[in-house]
Amino acid sequence: MAHEIIPATDATIAEVEAWLDAEEAVHKAGKAAWEAGGEYDDIPPRGFRCNWDNTKRLWREHSGGIDILVVDGAAVGFQGFSLFEIRPDFRRRGYGQILAEFMISRAYDEGWSIFEIGIAPASAEPFWEAMGFALVPERPDRGAGTFAYKILPRRFELGGGERVPFVVEFYTPDERYGEKPTPICSFSGLGERAEDGRIRLPERVYCFDPKEDASLNWFVRIEVDGVEIHFDKLKRDSSKAFGLECDGGYTYFMDAIRPT
């Protein structure tokens, strides 16, 4: 079957809403039957109709986009505003993977370092694990479901310039001021000194803790050639001056160190 992924239109939004309505009706009927005495062993899963009105409103307000998976002219899947769903009768046919790969690839192209999601229902967890996501059940998701993430690594080919040892570490405030500070994540290796003085890194370094959201009050420590040159909060202009940036997924990262 021919498929494509396109930006949402009024027509495709209406088509998705129709099958979300039908899915919600099946779920409610199954739940009512189960509560009345159990015609169903399992209640049919609920889709995202309960979130749809707000999602549609944000789309109409141009607060973000919705992508629609179209198969042979029919809108059978969508993703946008942290929602992702395939029409029930098109599941387990590879279309979820197609839409997920599109979503991840675009995030990479837009410069994201980490892709974070909340998985619901729990029956979808094996799918996302197969897509390379790590599940963190002990971390509450900001919405509902299981928090999961996928690192989008970026490695850089260095030239023939001088090699310089570096260390970049990230700390919570408690660790920063602790007796023996321990970073939440640490990166080290050999960078390349460029003509403009920057230290180009062989891979992206990023501030990420799978167990909690990063805070602007967290700290970044930078060491070059065995000398600590910076240890301050992520939000400081001085951290930005040394090369710290924030990507579209709100992850702080560095591709190069800019000694000042």
Predicted local distance difference test score (pLDDT) of residue 108: 97
Exposure string of 212-250, with b = 16+ CB inside 10 Å and e = fewer, is eebeeebbbbbbbeeeeebbbbbbeeebeebbbbbbebe
What CA–CA distance (Å, rounded) separates 167 from 235?
19
Q: Cβ distance 50 to 36 under 8 Å?
A: no
**pLDDT digit string (tens) for 182-196?**
999 999 999 999 999
Q: Give the DSSP letter string of 67-115.
A: EEEEETTEEEEEEETTEEEE-GGGTTTTHHHHHHHHHHHHHHHTT-SEE
Predicted local distance difference test score (pLDDT) of residue 39: 57
Measured in degrees and rounded to the nearest 5, phi and psi for residue 226 equal 80, 0
Which of 108, 185, 191, 118 lies closest to 153 in space, CA to CA? Answer: 108
SS3 for 114-125 is EEEEEECCHHHH
Which of 176, 187, 185 lies closest to 255 in space, CA to CA? Answer: 187
What CA–CA distance (Å, rounded) separates 93 from 160?
48
Please report, for residues 28, 221, 222, 228, the alpha-carbon distance to residue 186 in angstroms, rounded to integers and kept in the order given.
49, 9, 10, 14
Predicted local distance difference test score (pLDDT) of residue 82: 86
What CA–CA distance (Å, rounded) separates 180 from 228?
16
Q: How many CB atoms lie within 10 A of CB 31?
A: 14
**pLDDT digit string (tens) for 61-104?**
998 899 999 999 999 999 998 899 999 999 999 999 999 999 99
Total number of residues shown for the chain: 260
Predicted local distance difference test score (pLDDT) of residue 139: 86
Q: Which residues of the chain have pLDDT under 70?
A: 38-41, 141-144
Predicted local distance difference test score (pLDDT) of residue 196: 92
What CA–CA distance (Å, rounded) separates 38 from 159?
68
pTM over 0.75: yes
